[in-house]
Amino acid sequence: MHSRTTRRPLLVGGAAALGALALTFAGASAASAHVTVGSDTDEAGSYAILTFSVPHGCDGSATTSVSIKIPDGINAVTPTRNGFYSVEKVDEALETPITDSHGNEVTERVSEVVYTATTALPADQRDAFELSVQLPESAAGSTLYFPTVQTCEQGETAWVEIPADGQDAEDLDHPSPALAVVAADDTGSGHGSGDEAEGETVTAQEQSPGDSAQTPLVVTSLAIGGLGLIAGVVALIRGRKRA
């Protein structure tokens, strides 16, 4: 009787540790389930490669197109080629023409980039879309939002919600992909490795920066859960010896 009495709470404790570990992983998975944007540089004025990660379909339905709105201040965009999609740049007229770095007058800008699948992306697979842009110098200290609409064979998901002042984006159901921009380094070394908007085509990354940011959280969760499980097993062994 003593052995059973000792073993029961230990088993319950071990099950609780495993349950906590499962919940931790579930939380990490949910945090990475949104459409996100990552960049190889976040400095204002820098040429950057933006990577938009689409982690899943629409409630089990395959993705047929991804439309990315480009915020004001970004006037030239070069999409990276993706063999499974056709790509379209949608232009809009500028209220005030500007002069580019080559001295040419620019009267319109790319306001939207639309990737349309030639073969629908299965709901249980992910993909990434890269855009080469120059981050606006005026965006230093602010956040750029890229409202994105994911259209599927059945339905769509509009990742277009922008948090109000003081609101956490994680509280939103479908937050817009966002990129925080910082002031440029005075040394001029912060222009990143991104091609200029009129530069060469690059290959889509296997893993976007938005996904890699989740790795430390997952590793930490695994370590904590593992330690809890080991402690439960040791206590169980000690209980058997005492019985």
Residue 76 binned pLDDT confidence (cut-offs 50, 70, 90): confident
Q: What pLDDT was estimated at residue 102?
A: 82
Residue 10 binned pLDDT confidence (cut-offs 50, 70, 90): very low
Query: 34-205: what CATH class?
Result: mainly beta
When comparing pLDDT for 149 and 100, which is higher? 149
Q: What pLDDT was estimated at residue 31?
A: 43
Q: Which two tokens stand for residue 99?
A: 């002069």
Q: What pLDDT was estimated at residue 99?
A: 86
Length of the chain: 243
Q: What pLDDT was estimated at residue 140?
A: 97
User: What distance in Å separates the CA atoms of residue 22 and residue 187, rounded to the nearest whole number?
Assistant: 46
pTM equals 0.68
Average pLDDT over residues 108-123: 97
Query: For residues 132 and 81, is the Cβ–Cβ distance under 8 A?
Result: no
User: What distance in Å separates the CA atoms of residue 225 and residue 25, rounded to the nearest whole number?
Assistant: 10
Q: What pLDDT was estimated at residue 191?
A: 47
**pLDDT tens digit string along 196-221?**
444 443 433 344 444 444 444 444 44
Residue 108 binned pLDDT confidence (cut-offs 50, 70, 90): very high
User: What distance in Å separates the CA atoms of residue 146 and residue 181, rounded to the nearest whole number?
Assistant: 13
Average pLDDT over residues 24-35: 54
Asked if residue 149 has pLDDT above 90, the reply is yes
Task: Tell me the pairing of strands 47-54 and 63-69.
Answer: unpaired
